[in-house]
Structure 1
Amino acid sequence: MAQLIKLQDYVSRYEKDMIRYPSQYVRLKKQQWTKIKQQWEDGGVYLNEEEIQRFKEEVEGKEGILKRFKKILVRHEEEPEVEEEPDESDDLSFEPSVYYKPETLDDLKHLYLDQLLHFQLKWASSTLTEKSYVDSKYHRDDHLKFFLQRFPDTFLLMYEPILLLKKAPVELEVLLFTPTALWCISLLDQGEDTVFVGSTERFWKVKKGESEHTQLNPLISLDRTASILQQIFDKNDVDFTIHKAVLSRTGYVDFPDIPYGYKVIDKRSIQKWHDHQRTMSSPFKHMQMKAARAVIEYAQTTSVKRMQWSEADEDLLGDTEE
């Protein structure tokens, strides 16, 4: 499962420490998967609603028993929020919740990965002291889910990143840092079996059924993205290969004479390309981390202080005025 190091302009803990968090994520993911898999293999306890209610009635008033079983109970009632000081160890924790018994190991894996996806969005939109408000569309974004759930842990993803260059925000294409290269990917998605007719002109034709329209040539944006990244790499002594690709998971790209330096990945070839990436069992590489760190330092961030910290700041200001 690739790591989401930057999402749009949301605050990310990876931009605070690009060395610590990637390895910590891999370790945490492995530990929790081993734990939940063992529970499933041992026939862990899963309760239905009637059993939950009966269990609550039987142990009502017996302090401590419910706490020991809280991980197997479905929470039907809102628990009162308790104001606590922020604790980084709690903020970094990930405890998957299994509310039913998956029939197969694959079912368990899908359940686990879906919960891990939400945890990744948290890491990519908050730190101990700051948070950004995530657009709900990202929880349903199939492309984001594809990149995060179907690539190795050592792949680092910047999804729709916004860089701040000369005080001006610049939106880039999807960036996928593998251990050996950086993929700049332009996503084409206008429905199942859509045909994109490529050319070197400013616009491409888009055909779906009987309808036809045009869209801006995606190679233009790819060239701009690659050019910006190469300048950042040169400035930071980063020697890292940059690939440029047009990707359509559900459609076809008709561009037989595509210029050198670009790769077309469509419905016919995506499985082969994806399989090749997944076979890359290489660990994190020094130049990969250096490249990702160099780019993320230019990332724009829009965030607010977390509530606990904002209130504390106000108290300090009040004491000063007195």
Structure 2
Amino acid sequence: MGQLIKLQDYISRYEQDVYRYPSQFVRLKHQQWEKLKAAYLAGELQNLFAGKEESDIEDDWIYQPKQALFTKVKGLFKKDRELENQYEIEGSSHQDDNIFSLHIPNSPDSMEDLKQTYLNQLLRFQMKWASSTLHEKSVIDPAFYLDERLRFFLQRFPDTFLVLYKPVFLLKNAPVEVEVILLSPTDAWCITFLEAEEDAAFVGTNERFWLKRHHRYGDKKVLNPMLALNRMEKIVTQVFTLYEVNLPIKKVILSRNGYIDYPLVPFDTLLLDKRSFPEWFQRMRNLSSPLKHLQLKAAQALLDYCDTASNRRLEWDVDADGGEDLIDR
């Protein structure tokens, strides 16, 4: 399951400590799955959620009770960063008994159904990590929960793959949104999609537009995907150069349900269509390498140049008794 470290311009807790959260996510994911699987095999699945509201399960897994929080941090906001690290480390350990926001109204028919349910619910948890921190949060566009392409990266790739999905880079005070940057332990993949109807064929040129052909819908011009891909690769290259990151950068035009015909394709660009995609995808899924330091360094460099829009959590402005402003603005 790929890890969503940046979603558009939403605040992400990976921005705070990219060297800790990826390994923590992998550990907690496996721990919770083993606990869930054991309960299923023992016929005690529903006991895991007895007496708990869905929102309580989700928040408990990430945070400690608010009363304990304010007791611990009141009057100590000069050390916000240190407290946040301590708080979240303790919170993750303390809440291992909970299963994210998982809700199973009926017993799954099989272990495979249970696993898919788990992955679907885990997607919500990933969204939370990619849109909130202890102090701040961003409002997610509901469309992202139904985004098939985002789900593809988060549910079909290994845990050691880090995903920046439609990140917004702030370059010379100008926001620039790109498509997908996938950081594997060995490479940085800049990916742009070129997908339409099933079996659509795309004819590439060096002009501004390509031609899409389909047996039912006829011909139509589409914007040359190389324009966006080259812009994305240029941004990643500049950031990596600035931070001295020597991770290979690869460019991909991806069409999982169609075909691409581009005889003049540059040597540094990979065309993945219905014919070549399955082999590449299987190779990515079989990559067993653990998280690498260089990969995390690359992630930190990119996150440093991403734009972020968020609001401060209300609970950090009001104490547990309800009223006293604890934040020195």
TM-score, normalization by structure 1: 0.84
Corresponding residue SS for 2:317: helix
**Unaligned 5+ runs, structure 2:** 60-64, 70-86
Distance 1:314 1:243 in 2: 53
Match of 1:180 in 2: 186
Amino acid at match of 1:280: L
1:19–1:211 distance in 2 versus 1, CA, 3 Å: same
Give deviations 1:234-258, integer Å, cap 9, x for gaps: 1111101000000112222222332
Q: Shift of residue 45 of structure 1?
A: 5.0
Residues 54 and 103, structure 2, Cα contact 8 Å, conserved in 1: no
1:77–1:215 distance in 2 versus 1, CA, 3 Å: closer
Match of 2:325 in 1: 316
Match of 1:242 in 2: 249
The answer to whether residue 266 in structure 2 is matched with residue 259 in structure 1 is yes
Q: Shift of residue 166 of structure 1?
A: 1.2
Corresponding residue SS for 2:251: strand
Alignment of 1:98-137 (within 5 A): 98-137=104-143
1:77–1:251 distance in 2 versus 1, CA, 3 Å: closer
Residues 245 and 265, structure 1, Cα contact 8 Å, conserved in 2: yes
Corresponding residue SS for 1:293: helix
Distance 1:317 1:260 in 2: 57
Query: What do you get for the CA RMSD once the two structures are aligned?
Result: 2.7
Residues 165 and 181, structure 2, Cα contact 8 Å, conserved in 1: yes
Match of 2:11 in 1: 11
Residues 317 and 326, structure 2, Cα contact 8 Å, conserved in 1: no
What is the aligned counterpart of 1:158 among 157, 164, 169?
Answer: 164
Residues 36 and 45, structure 2, Cα contact 8 Å, conserved in 1: no
What is the aligned counterpart of 2:294 among 260, 268, 287?
Answer: 287
The answer to whether residue 202 in structure 2 is matched with residue 196 in structure 1 is yes
Match of 1:25 in 2: 25
Q: Shift of residue 99 of structure 1?
A: 2.3
Match of 1:214 in 2: 221
Corresponding residue SS for 2:324: helix
Q: Shift of residue 74 of structure 1?
A: 8.6
Residues 3 and 155, structure 1, Cα contact 8 Å, conserved in 2: yes
Give deviations 1:95-121, integer Å, cap 9, x for gaps: 133322111111111000001011000
Q: Shift of residue 217 of structure 1?
A: 0.7
Match of 1:43 in 2: 43
Corresponding residue SS for 1:100: coil
Comparing 274-283 with 83-92, greater Cα deviation is found at 83-92
Residues 72 and 99, structure 1, Cα contact 8 Å, conserved in 2: no
Alignment of 1:300-311 (within 5 A): 300-311=307-318
Give deviations 1:144-164, integer Å, cap 9, x for gaps: 001000111000000000011
Residues 45 and 72, structure 1, Cα contact 8 Å, conserved in 2: no
Residues 74 and 99, structure 1, Cα contact 8 Å, conserved in 2: no
Amino acid at match of 2:256: R
What is the aligned counterpart of 1:227 among 220, 226, 234?
Answer: 234
Residues 2 and 153, structure 2, Cα contact 8 Å, conserved in 1: yes
Distance 1:300 1:315 in 2: 32
Aligned residues: 296
1:45–1:264 distance in 2 versus 1, CA, 3 Å: closer
1:76–1:158 distance in 2 versus 1, CA, 3 Å: closer
1:91–1:23 distance in 2 versus 1, CA, 3 Å: closer
Give deviations 1:117-141, integer Å, cap 9, x for gaps: 1100000000001000000110000
Residues 259 and 273, structure 2, Cα contact 8 Å, conserved in 1: yes
1:6–1:171 distance in 2 versus 1, CA, 3 Å: same
Q: Shift of residue 70 of structure 1?
A: 6.8
Distance 1:147 1:117 in 2: 11
Corresponding residue SS for 1:4: strand
Q: Shift of residue 314 of structure 1?
A: 7.6
Q: Shift of residue 277 of structure 1?
A: 0.5
Residues 91 and 128, structure 1, Cα contact 8 Å, conserved in 2: no
Match of 2:173 in 1: 167
Distance 2:51 2:316 in 1: 32
Distance 2:124 2:288 in 1: 25
Amino acid at match of 2:12: S
